[in-house]
Structure 1
Amino acid sequence: MLEIRKGTVEDLSIIRQLGIDTYYAHFKDNWENKKEINKFLEKDFSKESLEKSLKMHNIVWLIAYIENEAIGFAKVNFDRKLPNNETRGAELQKIYFLPSSTGKGYGDILLNEAIKLSIHNNQGLLWLEVLKTNHQAKAFYEKKGFNVKTETILKGVNGDMSLWVMIKDLSND
Structure 2
Amino acid sequence: MAVVGLGGLGHMAVKFGVALGAEITVLSTSETKRDDAKQLGAHHFVVTTDADELATVKGKFDFILDTVSASHDLNLYLTLLKSDGVHICVGIPSEPFSLSPFSLPSGNKVLAGSGAGGLAETQDMLDFCAAHGIVSDIELIDIKDIHSSFDRMIKGDVRYRFVIDMSTLV
TM-score calculated relative to the size of structure 2: 0.30
Structure with greater strand percent: 1
Give the greater-gyration-radius structure (CA).
2
